[in-house]
Chain A
Amino acid sequence: MSMMPILQATSLHKSYLSGERHIEVLRGVDLVVAAGESVSIRGESGSGKSTLLNLLSGLDAPDSGELRWEGEASLTPVRRGRLLGLVFQAFYLVPELDAEANVLLAARLVGKVGEPERARARELLRRVGLAERAQHVPAKLSGGERQRVAIARALMNRPRLILADEPTGNLDEGSGDAIIDLLLSLGREEGCALVLVTHNAAHAARCARRLFLREGGFHAA
């Protein structure tokens, strides 16, 4: 395995204009995520957790600072789709597609879909416990089941890093615990790193490294 970190963020600054006020959300955040590592980021509402995750996923650009993904500073949409697996609080499944097609969508967006990809999608659904519900559309699935489909989708392209933004925020406690179990175990099995943004201390404690975001920077949790 390469010793190069999967993700390296150096001195990230990000601010927003709220009316005439300039709000500096991130003030020089540094973060290095090694291959296979699990990192949790906690923080209060408005502390900049989601903002940071948007920067780490390349969906948003920092005002200053540097980001490198596997040593490269650029992240095209297709490279993002292959390198990163994204899990959101609101699942964001496509309602017109069934569970299997939602998982396969991640592969479609970055390349072609053939039998190996279909087999992997079915295998991932089996591993998240939804083999029997592969042909069900999201409207027929519970919140926990939808998030499992979203996790399977995030793993579809064998990413090197999963970025999960409050994946249990819309779930009850039992379902939330199960989702965190799934994320950690599948991440380990697939050999990919995990950055978990959460405000649940118990879930954060399950990660190998725990960070707390406050006043625009990391503090020990």
Chain B
Amino acid sequence: MSWPIYLALKQLFPTGRRFPFFTFISILGVALGVTLLIVSISVMGGFGREIRTMIVHTQGEVQVRAAGLMENPGAVMDAVKTVRGVVAATPFAEGVVMIKRDRQPAFPAIQGVDMDRVDEVVPLRRYIIAGDFEDLDDDRVILSSQLAISIGARIGDTVMVYSPLLLEKLQADEVLMPRELEVCGIFEIGHQQLDSSVVIVTLRTMQELYGLGRAVHGVNVRLAPGADPDRVAREINRVLPVNGFAKSWMDANSEFLFVLQLEKNMIFFLLLFIIVVAAFSVASSLLIAVVRKTREIGLLGALGASPRQVAACFCYQGIIIGVTGTALGLALGFTVVHFRNHLVAGFTRLTGSQEALERFYQFSQLPAHLSGKDLALIVCSALVVSTLAGLLPAWRAAKLKPVEALRSE
């Protein structure tokens, strides 16, 4: 071991002292910053992943839309399936309807799905919380959970569905009766907007409600694991037989994903300041040490140390504090992330806010996910900031001339 590292370790953990207070406080400052970063970025990452999963589960990884109506979805799906990475495709039609039960109206979005193929692309049945997805046929409807509550509908109830086609018929002095559909299922995805205003019907029912004939609005596409959605979307656009456009789920939700990433970056940036403040505290303590140990620094020079080695000794102290603080922060952070749900449960029990948490944030379990890239960023930032904290004291120490340092009072 080189002597600057040896002496840096000895100055931080002196012989015969069980509890080096300055070292402990300095390490704790860095550790707390790293812990907060790990916990915050993990939870943000968890939410982000949940939302991404939800988007992919409801839209597929790539969505092909026609400019207007897609008259021959079969041809489009055949073309799409020729692209490398595509596993399955299913057509859909969508719009807005008025739905009414007793005197409770609502205006949800409506999604018509092809019962023969939808399972291969979007796992809707995974989100059914009441009833059975298999029961969905041309006379039945599946409601989102909040919508069902707001109109007071239960499994087996009948709802009236009014489509824009009724207005078109009225303008032509024709009367079209609203469609009566029986509620056969209720789903909940975990996204407030989707859970409060979406109904699912068969593709045929949707085509009848909107007078689409055999046309659809688009095709949802599922990809093989690991396939790049942006690449596949580009390749689909090259083989599309109709005037349409394929977009990856990232491209289609780019603004939303941008906001998610921006939030995560802002949290990272703000919490990084905790480490910066800790680093200032480390720098301040090391500067005081340089002043306090001026004669020792002079002694090192007199006994054969070069200014560069003296500087390295103080630099290493910053690095050792950074490495130890980061390691401790990682251990603390991962422990908190591991027990996050226990901690949240304990906190909400104490404050009586369990119900409010579920109602407003729509979760009872905190999701968490930390990517390798985020972890590397946190570790590198903490180490770089801590190392920088040792530079100023190191420079001050290196500038001291042994003869003057030994004379100092």
A interface residue numbers (CB < 8 A to B):
54, 57, 59-60, 77-78, 80-82, 86, 88, 90, 92, 94-98, 101, 105-106, 108-110, 135, 137, 140, 153
Chain B interface, >50% SS class: helix
Decide if B14 is an interface residue (CB 8 Å cutoff).
yes
A101 touches B15 (CB 8 A): yes
B402 touches A96 (CB 8 A): no
B16 touches A98 (CB 8 A): yes
Complex partner residue of A94 from B296, B306, B402, CB under 8 angstroms = B296
List the B side residues contacting A94 at CB < 8 Å: 7, 10, 296, 299
With A81-B303, A153-B303 known, 7 other A-B pairs at CB within 8 A are: A59-B402, A80-B304, A92-B296, A92-B299, A97-B14, A101-B15, A137-B14
List the A side residues contacting B300 at CB < 8 Å: 109
B305 touches A109 (CB 8 A): yes
List the B side residues contacting A88 at CB < 8 Å: 299, 406
Task: Report the nearest B residue to A54, measured CB to CB.
Answer: B403
Q: A59-B402, A92-B296 are in contact. Are A105 and B303 (CB under 8 A)?
A: yes
Minimum CB–CB distance for A53 against chain B, Å? 10
Tally of B interface residues using CB under 8 Å: 23
Bound CA–CA A60/B309 (angstroms): 19
Decide if B6 is an interface residue (CB 8 Å cutoff).
yes
B304 touches A96 (CB 8 A): no
Contact with A along B291-316 (1 / 0, CB 8 A): 00001101111111110010000000
Decide if B3 is an interface residue (CB 8 Å cutoff).
yes
List the A side residues contacting B309 at CB < 8 Å: 109
Bound CA–CA A88/B345 (angstroms): 64
Q: A60-B403, A92-B296 are in contact. Are A97 and B302 (CB under 8 A)?
A: no
List the B side residues contacting A77 at CB < 8 Å: 301, 304-306
List the B side residues contacting A97 at CB < 8 Å: 10, 14-15
Q: Which 5 A-B pairs have the closest CB atoms?
A: A81-B304, A96-B14, A108-B3, A109-B304, A59-B403
CB within 8 Å of A: which B1-49 residues: 3, 6-7, 10-11, 14-16
Minimum CB–CB distance for A93 against chain B, Å? 9
List the A side residues contacting B305 at CB < 8 Å: 77, 81, 109
List the A side residues contacting B295 at CB < 8 Å: 90, 92
A59 touches B302 (CB 8 A): yes
B303 touches A106 (CB 8 A): yes
B10 touches A101 (CB 8 A): yes
Minimum CB–CB distance for B290 against chain A, Å? 14
List the A side residues contacting B7 at CB < 8 Å: 94, 105, 108
User: Can you sample 18 A-B contacts with CB below 8 Å?
Assistant: A59-B301, A59-B402, A60-B403, A80-B303, A86-B302, A92-B406, A94-B296, A95-B14, A96-B14, A96-B15, A97-B14, A98-B16, A101-B10, A105-B3, A105-B303, A109-B3, A109-B304, A109-B305
B interface residue numbers (CB < 8 A to A):
3, 6-7, 10-11, 14-16, 295-296, 298-306, 309, 402-403, 406
A96 touches B11 (CB 8 A): yes
Minimum CB–CB distance for A191 against chain B, Å? 21
B15 touches A98 (CB 8 A): yes
List the A side residues contacting B3 at CB < 8 Å: 105, 108-109
B303 touches A109 (CB 8 A): yes
Minimum CB–CB distance for B185 against chain A, Å? 72
List the A side residues contacting B406 at CB < 8 Å: 59, 88, 92
B403 touches A137 (CB 8 A): no
List the A side residues contacting B403 at CB < 8 Å: 54, 59-60
A110 touches B10 (CB 8 A): no
Bound CA–CA A129/B15 (angstroms): 21
Bound CA–CA A215/B76 (angstroms): 107
Minimum CB–CB distance for A178 against chain B, Å? 23
B302, B305, B309: most-surrounded residue (chain A CB, <10 A) = B302
Task: Report the nearest B residue to A60, measured CB to CB.
Answer: B403
Bound CA–CA A108/B303 (angstroms): 10
B304 touches A110 (CB 8 A): yes
Complex partner residue of A137 from B6, B16, B298, B302, CB under 8 angstroms = B16
B6 touches A96 (CB 8 A): no
List the A side residues contacting B304 at CB < 8 Å: 77-78, 80-82, 106, 109-110
List the B side residues contacting A80 at CB < 8 Å: 302-304
Task: Report the nearest A residue to B6, measured CB to CB.
Answer: A108
Bound CA–CA A86/B301 (angstroms): 11
Bound CA–CA A195/B374 (angstroms): 62
Bound CA–CA A95/B303 (angstroms): 16
Minimum CB–CB distance for B258 against chain A, Å? 52
Bound CA–CA A109/B10 (angstroms): 15
Task: Report the nearest B residue to A86, measured CB to CB.
Answer: B302
List the B side residues contacting A137 at CB < 8 Å: 14-16
Bound CA–CA A99/B302 (angstroms): 19
Minimum CB–CB distance for A41 against chain B, Å? 18
Task: Report the nearest B residue to A61, measured CB to CB.
Answer: B403
List the B side residues contacting A86 at CB < 8 Å: 302-303
Bound CA–CA A96/B16 (angstroms): 8
Bound CA–CA A82/B3 (angstroms): 16
Minimum CB–CB distance for A110 against chain B, Å? 4
Minimum CB–CB distance for B68 against chain A, Å? 80
